[in-house]
Chain A
Amino acid sequence: MLRLTCPFCGDRDYTEFRYGGDATKTRPASEETDAGIWHDHLFSFRNPKGPHVEYWQHVLGCRQWIVVERDTATHEIGATHLARDTGDRS
């Protein structure tokens, strides 16, 4: 069973999480009106065969969204952190 580390709850089966897809794309600002920018945000994917940074939500748990680095060719799991914890949140 693919095991993910929820920073709040600890190691859990991936079945406790809901997948959120590619986490490397920053969401355009709400005011952004350029359809091309929104199109690339939604419809283009690096889809690498190797390290992939992705979102998961611990829905059968603390409901936190987390960011996981996982290799899509071997399923080796790297660093994991709460999605909210990057950048400005102290």
Chain B
Amino acid sequence: MQRYSAFALLKHALSGNERWARAWRSGAPKPGYDVIIIGGGGHGLATAYYLAKNHGVRRIAVLERGSIGSGNVGRNTTIIRSNYMIGANTAFFEFSLKLWEGLSHDLNFNCMVSHRGQLVLGHGPGQMDVHARRGNTMRLNGIDAELLDRDEVMKLAPYLDYSKEARFPIHGGLLQPRAGTARHDAVAWGYARAADDYGVDIIENCEVKGIVREGGRAVAVETSRGRIDAPKIGIAVAGHSSHVAAMAGLEIPVESHVLQAFVSEAIKPLVHHVISFGAELFYLSQSDKGGLVFGGHIDGFNTYTQRGQLARAQTVAECAVSLMPMLSRLRLLRSWGGIQDMTPDGSPFICKTPVAGLYLNGGWCYQGFKATPASGWTFAHTIANDGEHELNRAYSLDRFLQGKELDEFGIGNWTYKQ
């Protein structure tokens, strides 16, 4: 593929930028492939890339019902971090963050991976103890973490509300310096271009409508562009996981909920870290385009509409202005929503399914974007070897029957409370 670099930019500028090649080919689907990936989001594209790169699989198709990147990968608040303390989560998300560090190089596509640090605030001694357990576990697993007291938080983020009137006074916080953000669209396009370079067919406007099974095996998919055969089929459709799994007769522990996100008007640099409120679910960072990108809790009831309620926008704004009083006069530019595949314990599925040849990648709740590289890597391994990688063995469909939930935040088994 054409190498992207400053030199390339200059060379093309001299010839009027007319000889830039397409980032990924667009064509009709072939009748059959070795592996079909359903879903052209971050996870689907990354899986196709690592199948080709790590496992030498040649004939791969990614089938996307709309345009690639139109799902959650294109609408999330771009926070990447690895401050996980429960079982397999710790190693999995740290592996992902390590892949993030080299991703722009690996894909030769600037994903603007910004290790600016994420600060999670603590509003009482009890909460600081929980942060301490998380931070200590991170350090014991080679992950960077720092426990800050109130004064240290004030130095890092002087614009938070330290006044006496603050409803939930700030006692301190847990900082992960290597955490940060990445440019969401670049991740989808970067993986697409790199996968295309390995010969992966990326088929857009191709909705999978049925999964064909013969003798208990998945053998093909029915799509809006005809039937396509493959001995191995990977589902990576995030919010539509139940919908597509049902095509193979599977009922999975997932409920679809809308999460809203918000961006302010673009302003000069103001906030230099990812800030997470401790009293209520609220998180904020400033995009490189200058807008503050933030969000809070899901709206809280099953839905497939990619739009949210005004009342939720108001409670998120209440958190924003209470945490950072300076934001009161800053204006909301745009609000949107995405459908999240919520699981009872808040952790995902990257696993085989009871249907031979059919593999599931889903259940990503709030945290699928940061998992994109590791999810692609381990899902590719699972498909290529028909068996889970050590990193994703815990993300199985039967974990609830075993009592092996991975309840990262101790909320209990409720999809709509995660």
Contacts and interface: CB of A to CB of B under 8 A. Distances in A.
Interface string B234-250: 00000010110000000
A54 B414 CA distance: 14
Contacts, number: 70
A43 B344 CA distance: 7
Nearest to B417: A19
Nearest to A50: B304
Contacts of A1: 309-311
Contacts of A36: 401
Given A54-B301, A72-B304, A75-B305, A45 B310 contact: no
B77 to A, nearest CB: 23
19 contacts: A1-B310, A1-B311, A14-B311, A21-B255, A21-B414, A35-B401, A39-B400, A42-B344, A43-B401, A43-B413, A44-B251, A44-B253, A45-B251, A46-B251, A47-B302, A48-B242, A49-B256, A72-B256, A75-B303
Contact of B309 (A2, A19, A35, A44): A2
Contacts of B309: 1-2, 14-15
B92 interface: no
A90 interface: no
A45 B257 CA distance: 13
B54 to A, nearest CB: 32
A54 B303 CA distance: 12
B302 A72 contact: yes
Contacts of B255: 21-22, 45, 47
A58 interface: no
Contacts of A52: 302
Nearest to A18: B300
Contacts of A14: 301, 309, 311
B239 to A, nearest CB: 10
B148 interface: no
B138 interface: no
A6 B223 CA distance: 42
A33 interface: no
Contacts of A74: 305
Nearest to A52: B302
A39 B402 CA distance: 10
A43 B311 contact: no
Interface residues of B, number: 25
B287 interface: no
Interface string A61-86: 00000000010111100000000000
Contact of B303 (A21, A45, A72): A72
A52 B93 CA distance: 34
A85 B301 CA distance: 23
Contacts of A35: 401
Interface in B286-317: 300-305, 309-311
B416 A21 contact: yes
Contacts of B416: 19, 21
A73 B213 CA distance: 28
B401 A39 contact: yes
A53 B152 CA distance: 49
B254 A45 contact: yes
B176 interface: no
A45 B415 contact: yes
B99 interface: no
B319 interface: no
A1 B313 CA distance: 11
Given A35-B401, A54-B301, 13 more contacts: A1-B311, A2-B301, A13-B311, A15-B311, A22-B302, A36-B401, A43-B401, A46-B242, A47-B256, A70-B301, A72-B256, A72-B304, A74-B305
Question: What are the 9 closest A-B residue pairs judged by CB atoms, nearest first?
Answer: A47-B242, A43-B253, A43-B400, A49-B304, A19-B301, A44-B251, A15-B311, A47-B255, A72-B303
A49 B302 CA distance: 9
